Structure formats: structure tokens, C-alpha cells
Chains A and B, each alone.
Chain A
Amino acid sequence: MTDPILLQARGVTKSFGGVNVLKGIDLDVLQGQVVSLIGASGSGKTTFLRCVNLLEEHDGGEILLDGEPIGYRDQGGRRVRLSEARVSAQRARIGMVFQQFNLFPHLTASGNVTLGLTKVLGKSKAEAQEIAEHWLDRVGLSAHSARHPYELSGGQQQRVAIARAVAMQPRLLLFDEVTSALDPELVAEVLTVMRSLAESGMTMLLVSHEMLFVREVSDHVLFLEQGRVAVEGPPSQVFDQPENERLRSFLGRFHGLFGASSA
């Protein structure tokens, strides 16, 4: 691979009130790659994702985006938290889509998308509006740009949330179980949007329980277990010939979708 490393995590640790949730995560995401984290709940995948965007702060190790440490800098061997302004600037380069959509309810669909464009990237209202229309169209919602979130279905809300994140032209997009809160019949429309983003070369790091989708779009899959990376590799290897006992039993829970279940 000649693609540069976009995101690099080295020995990332995190504990909540004495419970070690992350026990040293190493991970590389190359530019243009789709990398997925799978694992049982409590394995630390969502926590890791939140650390990348500084919604949680890792206790140890480092996370580098384009080689630049996220959230902290090293000052003579001591970790010093970056200023609020620096942290915000780093966050602006990383987009995030949430399980619960988290659209701003007081703004329209297009208002949700333009807020960051005007207030963070400093674009003019007209330009932001144009970009918002473009992305809302890309996610199939151009007819709904003036609607408020409460007027939209869950799948539509999530697509607005994706438009909001991707319109910022982030270096990296994070997806945190974005289909878990959706009714089954609405999952496909969101996955379609994600697939098209992946095909357009967007670098994506996702946490998902949609195993078929993960297998289809991922370049690299990591199976997390109790705060560690237990297995990693290309999807064919992780899904089709899992050697790890825990991974086999984890995959076996997905209705016999994989060869693993027959083992």
C-alpha cells in the first residue's frame, strides 16, 4: 500500500471509574480505506470511536490524525491537553454520525448542514446553502431540505446527519452504529448512502452490527474483545475463516450468515 496513513492509534487506553474499557488499541486507517470495528457490546468499540473525536478523552497512548496527535501534546514527557480552539479545529476535520442521529431539532435539514459550514468553515450563507443542497441531494433528500427533523423518518434523519457530517469535507468519517436505532425497513436506505460514500473514496471508520454490510464495504476489520483487538484482517479472513474461538461464537450469533456458524 502506498496510501498514507490517515489515522493511527497506538496503545490507546481508557478507563471509566476504575474499569478499563480500552486496554491498548492499535489501529491504522489508510487514506480512502473503510475500516470497521466489530464486537460484542462492552468490547470498547464505541468508546474508541468517541476517543478519536474527543467526545471521550483517552487516558494513555496516542491517536494521530495526519501525524498530528489528537487532543493532547507531549510537553517534556507530560501529556498536556490542547486548548479548546485546537480541539475544535481537530474535530472539524473528523465527521461523526451518531446512533441517535442527534440532529438539531430547531433547525431545518438544510440548517443542520449549513451550521458548521458557516460558523466553523466561515463560508458565506449562499455558498453553504449550495453545498447543503448538493449533499442533501446526494443522500436523496433534496425535496426535504426545508423540513425540520421531527417531520422526517428515522432513515431520513440519519441521512441528513450523514450530509451534515460529510458536507464539512472531513478527512475521516466516523459512524457509530448508525443503523441500530432504525426500523429494519429503513436500514437499507442509510447503508446505500454509506456504500456510495465509501465508493467515492471517503475514509471511514465504522462501528456496526450490520455484518453483511461490514464484510462488503470494509478493507480491514477489527474484532474487539474486552478492550483489546482480538482479531484483525481483511473481511474475507475475519468472516470466512475465523480461527479465534470468541470471534466464531460472536459471528455465530448472526443467524448463520457466515461459514463460521457451521463450525
Chain B
Amino acid sequence: MSGLGATLLSSALSIVMATVLGVLLGVALTYGWIGLRLAARLYVDVLRGIPLLVLILFTYYGLALFGVNVSAFWAGVIALGGFATAHVAENFRGAVSSIPSGQMEAAKSIGLPFVNRLRYVVLPQAFRRMLPPWVNTALEIVKGTTLLSIIGVVELLLASQQAMARNYMIIDFYLFTGLVYVAINFTLSRIGARLERRFTFARS
């Protein structure tokens, strides 16, 4: 089970990276001045358009080409995180645009400056709306870590395959591996559901 750690760690790192960068990119996408907004839009559209596997391979070999030497593990995290960043950014934009414009106006009218309007009025409401798609993205990331086996990261899938090569218990191992992913993702979606309940402030 040596691969489980790599799967969990690369998932967690990618999710954290995607959440932080995705929200920042989402702010740029929603409120940035025109140049920044276009750059953010370009990033989101390009990254969402590239197959994840291509992105992982490109990051792994491409970074080396630019003289940036990162391990396969970190190349994988960057690729997964970068991919999910685009999704989180787009989810953020969607969540913000579903908040009535009167919220921003009310926040303005009590004199809150921009950063505080985001922090105390827009973000709490946006996060609640982002939660379901965010859980989705997290699940995709966990499943996406299997693709890191292609560039030689010994995560859960590759570790299982290596074990199978020794004992030929193919069905058993794939079944078991699959169940481990289900267990991880089920846990994630339970956490998501709990957060959703925790942050519900309106019956709607």
C-alpha cells in the first residue's frame, strides 16, 4: 500500500493549490481590469481544453525542456493543480455572478472598500455556492492522480500494478484499488455535504 500515501498527498496538494489559485484567478476573472481578465480567461479556456493526460506529460517533459528540474511527483501536482485551478476559477466566477448585485451595492453603501466587500460579503456567499462543484473538482483530482502513473509516480494504481506483476492476482487487486478510490472520494463527498449543511444560511 505504499502508493496510497502518494495518491493522498498529490491529491491534497493539488486541491489546495487549485483552491487558492483558483479563487485568486476567479477574482481576476470577475473583477480584474480588462487585461488581467483576458489573461485569466485565456488561462481558463486553454487549461480546460487540454486533456489532463496531455497536460501531465507536457508539464513533466516541458518543464525539463525549460531547464526546470522537478520530480515526476511535483510535475504531476503542478499539472493537476493547474488544471483544477481553471475549474475552480470558473466555478468562482459562476458563483459570484449568481449573487444579486444588490449585495455588492449594500456593501458599498456602508462604506466597505473593495477587499472587505469581497471578504465579508461576496466570498462567504460565493463559497457556499461553490461548494458542490468544488467537491466535484476534488473528486476529479483524486481520480486524476492515477494518470501520474504514466510519468512514473508510484501512486496507488502503479503500486498495485507492480504488486500484480509479482502475484498475478489481477482482478483482486484492481477491485481493491477501485474500492480504495471509492472510499477516498466517498469521504470527500461526505465532508462536502457536511460543509454544505454547516454553511446553509437560507432555505432556498
> A153-197 vs B: 1/0 string, CB under 8 Å?
000000001001100100000000000000000000000000000
- A92-B114 CB under 8 A given contacts A55-B105, A105-B125, A106-B201: no
Q: How far is the CB of A248 from chain B (nearest CB, A)?
A: 35
B89-105 residues with Cβ-Cβ distance < 8 A to A are: 100, 102-103, 105
Which of A37-45, A95-103, A137-145, A211-219 faces chain B?
Answer: A95-103
- A148-B201 CB under 8 A given contacts A105-B125, A115-B120, A119-B120: yes
> B105-136 vs A: 1/0 string, CB under 8 Å?
11111111110100011001100100000000
Beta-carbon contact of B103 and A102 below 8 Å: yes
Complex interface: chain A residues within 8 A of B102 (CB): 98, 100, 102
Q: How far is the CB of B114 from chain A (nearest CB, A)?
A: 6
Beta-carbon contact of A54 and B108 below 8 Å: yes
Task: Choose from A106, A115, A149 the contact partner of B110 (Cβ within 8 Å).
Answer: A115
Task: Choose from A102, A103, A168 the contact partner of B105 (Cβ within 8 Å).
Answer: A102
Beta-carbon contact of B109 and A53 below 8 Å: yes
Residue A124, interface by CB 8 Å: no
Closest B residue by C-beta to A55: B105
Which of A6-14, A81-89, A222-230 faces chain B?
Answer: A81-89
Task: Choose from A93, A94, A105 the contact partner of B201 (Cβ within 8 Å).
Answer: A105
Complex interface: chain B residues within 8 A of A209 (CB): none
Q: How many angstroms from the CA of A105 to the CA of B128 in the assembled complex?
A: 12
- A164-B105 CB under 8 A given contacts A148-B201, A150-B202: no
Beta-carbon contact of B124 and A165 below 8 Å: no
Q: Which of B109, B111, B203 has the most CB of A within 10 A?
A: B109
Beta-carbon contact of B111 and A88 below 8 Å: yes
Q: How many angstroms from the CA of A88 to the CA of B199 in the assembled complex?
A: 29
Q: How far is the CB of A49 from chain B (nearest CB, A)?
A: 11
> A118-145 vs B: 1/0 string, CB under 8 Å?
0110000000000000000000000000
Q: How many angstroms from the CA of A55 to the CA of B204 in the assembled complex?
A: 28
Q: How many angstroms from the CA of A92 to the CA of B202 in the assembled complex?
A: 28
Complex interface: chain A residues within 8 A of B105 (CB): 55, 96, 98, 102
How many contacts between A and B, using CB within 8 angstroms?
83
Q: Which of B103, B111, B113, B125 has the most CB of A within 10 A?
A: B111
Q: How far is the CB of B105 from chain A (nearest CB, A)?
A: 5
Task: Choose from A55, A93, A106, A165 the contact partner of B108 (Cβ within 8 Å).
Answer: A55
Q: How far is the CB of A158 from chain B (nearest CB, A)?
A: 12
Beta-carbon contact of B109 and A91 below 8 Å: yes
Residue A254, interface by CB 8 Å: no
4 closest residue pairs by CB, A with B:
A92-B111, A116-B110, A102-B106, A102-B102
In addition to A55-B109, A88-B112, A102-B103, 13 A-B residue pairs with Cβ atoms within 8 Å of each other are A89-B111, A90-B111, A93-B111, A95-B109, A102-B105, A104-B106, A105-B202, A106-B128, A120-B110, A148-B201, A149-B202, A150-B201, A150-B202
Could you give 28 example pairs across A and B, Cβ below 8 Å?
Answer: A53-B109, A55-B108, A84-B114, A88-B108, A88-B111, A88-B113, A88-B114, A89-B111, A92-B111, A93-B111, A96-B106, A100-B100, A102-B103, A104-B106, A104-B120, A105-B202, A106-B128, A106-B201, A115-B121, A116-B110, A119-B112, A119-B116, A148-B202, A149-B202, A150-B202, A150-B203, A150-B204, A168-B110
